[in-house]
Structure 1
């Protein structure tokens, strides 16, 4: 059993760090959501901010957009050119995706400074891309409302998850390319010496 743990030490370390940080960050975020709701019909501050910033992006792209707090559910109504195109709910603010991103980076952490810089840069990028994702989705729903289902459930979630995947790949590639090369060179030397 001890040998099994030693053999898979790096895998177990990754799983413990990933799950541990994911659970801790999710609990903190859940606590924030619980504390931020004045009543059951009020969106949290971050969701409201994302809705307002997405509206600002739409306005900067030449569309007349506005967001209005929904009075019956914790969401923000998004209107483009006077047409209701959707609701921005807590799940649209990208915080859960940022938590997933951060947990993976922590699980593959490098030096504290390098990890912290990558987490901050990645979280800002994900947040920013999410704003544009919502704006472009709103434009698509305004112009092509018949494609609402595929746009909302496939295309636009695919964009944000693809970004997170690319960031993960970049992070892993920046961590150990030298070790892999050195290990491969050492193995080749050992094979030649035999």
Structure 2
């Protein structure tokens, strides 16, 4: 009697399939939770997480005596960032890095290790991403004030490369040092 080739492949790729299934389940669940949270706000409101990010950007730049002013747009769902009396950038919901945090958490959960270690790494990694994002927005405001023509390079290339590069480094650290697959 011949062995079922599908079963052979399912057994062979079981760790990969478990990883993919866990990753997507965590990603979908966290995305649904986040979208449910966003549904609590009117279409012209700024959500609480984005407001907190704006507040922390203000605090960081004020710490360095920057001429900074951040306000809710009168008619749109974003925060206006004024630097040296010039409107330089806006902070929209997508700027709060929650989507990056969801991606980060989903990966760590998919390669989970000991519960306490996993939770600690998720919390510290998420905090690191949040702080990095606040610094990114503050630095982006300053750089775009001086180099407005570099918007695409700074916002579309350099800063995403830095953020995703550091998240990738956190993943590598997690898999090699703390996950159940670490040697």
Per the shorter chain, which TM-score range? over 0.9
On the 8 A contact 1:68/1:77 being kept in 2, the answer is yes
Task: Confirm whether residue 19 of structure 1 aligns to residue 24 of structure 2.
Answer: yes
Q: Alignment partner of 1:160: what SS?
A: helix
Q: Which has the higher helix share?
A: 1
Q: Aligned residues, how many?
A: 176
Q: 8 Å contact 1:41–1:71 — kept in the other structure? A: no
Match for residue 70 of structure 1? 73
Q: Which ranges of structure 2 fall in alignment gaps of 5 or more residues? A: 1-5
Any unmatched runs of 5+ in structure 1?
179-194
Question: SS at the partner of 1:74?
Answer: coil
CA distance, structure 2, for counterparts of residue 144 and residue 63 of structure 1: 17
Per the TM alignment, residue 177 of structure 1 is displaced from its structure 2 partner at its CA by: 4.0
CA RMSD of aligned residues (A): 0.9
Residues 9-158 of structure 1 correspond to what in structure 2 (within 5 A)?
9-35=14-40, 37=41, 39-158=42-161
Quote the Cα distance in structure 2 between the aligned partners of 1:158 and 1:52: 24
Q: Provide the TM-score with structure 2 as the length reference.
A: 0.93
CA drift of 1:142 comes to 1.0
SS of equivalent residue, structure 2 residue 39: helix
Pairing 1:161–2:171 present: no
Instruction: Encode CA deviations 1:37-68: one digit per residue, 9 max, x unaligned.
Output: 1x221110100110111111111122111111
Separation in structure 2 between the aligned mates of residue 12 and residue 170 of structure 1, nearest angstrom: 22
**Displaced runs of 4+ in structure 1, greater than 6 A?**
none
User: Which protein shows a greater Rg?
Assistant: 1
Q: Quick one: distance in 1 between partners of 2:22 and 2:160?
A: 26
Which of the pair has the greater relative contact order for Cα pairs under 8 Å at 6+ separation?
Answer: 2
